[in-house]
Amino acid sequence: MENYLEYIDAYFQRMLDPEQIRQFEQKIAEDPDFADEVAFYLSAKQSLKAETDLEKKQWFRQLLAERTPVVDINQYRSSSRKVWIYRVTAAAAVIVCAFFVWYFVFSKTTSPGQMADNYISENFKSLSVTMGEKDSLQEGLRLYNDGQYNEALRQFESIGRRNTESYSIKKYIGITYLRLNNYDSALQYFQKFQNDTLYTNPSLFYQALTLLKRNLPGDKAKARDLLQQVRDNDLEGKEFAQKWLDKW
């Protein structure tokens, strides 16, 4: 097991940048050994504080003893002192572990970023093939639905070069880039149909979704602004936008 003491201490001393903080928290969620080290670090600090407090109390009792004869009750506790410290350490470890379980299982699953992940997993797992579409587009959709995103992207982009005005192609290309974690390109394509006159236009919602996934400095603030526009203007994705804003 690696020694993460300085890394963990830097996190709790708030010495990490936002990206390092994100990586730290992700590592806790994915690496049980690392989570154990974090729990031990916090329980050790709690135990050390308890030990220091006990020493202060003993020093104060000693001062009183020099002034007034008293019964030294600590002589009866010496044998159980180590057991008491162990129990404090164990209790602190249990509390810390419980906190991290709550934070990463319950709290994080309701964050806007996690809800964005859930949306992509549930809604972009496959793309529907509409009757009457050209064979080349159906082939691109089939490749996408089979998880062959790079091949699907090449097919969609080939169609897009021949039909630069197609809303569907812009959307499919943007979604495929999003699935490939190419967030910059996904944003570019979602922005391309932002001003298209459509019955329903998911451009702003998809842009917010992509910003939450990219998670660069300032992205969350931009995503929040876009979600507010979606909600306030009754655009496609309004229901999800409202839920995510409520969890902010």
Shared domain for 101 and 154, answered yes or no, is: no
Shared domain for 55 and 99, answered yes or no, is: yes
Write phi, then psi, for 181 (nearest 5 degrees). 65, 25
pLDDT of 74 higher than 60: no
Nearest-angstrom CA–CA distance, 227 and 194:
14
Length of the chain: 248
Question: pLDDT at position 104, please?
Answer: 54
End-to-end CA distance of the chain: 36
Shared domain for 138 and 239, answered yes or no, is: yes
Shared domain for 57 and 144, answered yes or no, is: no
Shared domain for 93 and 121, answered yes or no, is: no
Q: Are 211 and 218 in contact (CB under 8 A)?
A: no
Number of domain units in the chain: 2
* Reported confidence tier of residue 15, pLDDT bands at 50, 70, 90: confident
Per-residue pLDDT tens for 19-65? 888 888 888 888 888 888 888 888 777 766 666 666 655 665 665 56
Instruction: State the DSSP code for 209.
Output: H
pLDDT of 154 higher than 90: yes
Of 110, 138, 166, the position where a domain reaches its end is 110
Mean pLDDT of 88-106: 57
What is the pLDDT of the chain when averaged over all its residues?
A: 80
pLDDT of 67 higher than 70: no
Question: pLDDT at position 38, please?
Answer: 82
Q: Please give the angle made by the CA atoms of 116, 101 and 27, to the nearest 5 degrees.
A: 65
pLDDT of 76 higher than 50: no
Shared domain for 106 and 185, answered yes or no, is: no
Provide the sign of the torsion angle of the four alpha carbons 215, 217, 223, 224, taken in this order: positive
Shared domain for 17 and 103, answered yes or no, is: yes
Max Cα-Cα span within the chain: 99
| Rounded alpha-carbon distances, angstroms, from residue 241 to 4, 120, 208, 211, 227 | 38, 14, 9, 13, 5
pLDDT of 107 higher than 90: no
Q: Is 39 left (phi over 0), alpha (psi -120 to 50) or beta?
A: alpha
Shared domain for 72 and 129, answered yes or no, is: no
Per-residue pLDDT tens for 197-225? 877 899 999 999 999 999 999 999 999 99
Q: Among 112-116, 222-226, 234-238, which is the least confidently predicted range?
A: 112-116
Of 110, 139, 157, the position where a domain reaches its end is 110
Shared domain for 126 and 205, answered yes or no, is: yes
Nearest-angstrom CA–CA distance, 139 and 118:
26
- What domain range is 63 assigned to? 5-110
Of 110, 131, 154, the position where a domain reaches its end is 110
Shared domain for 134 and 238, answered yes or no, is: yes
pLDDT of 70 higher than 50: no
Nearest-angstrom CA–CA distance, 114 and 117:
5
Shared domain for 106 and 121, answered yes or no, is: no
Q: Among 13-27, 193-207, 225-239, which is the least confidently predicted range?
A: 13-27
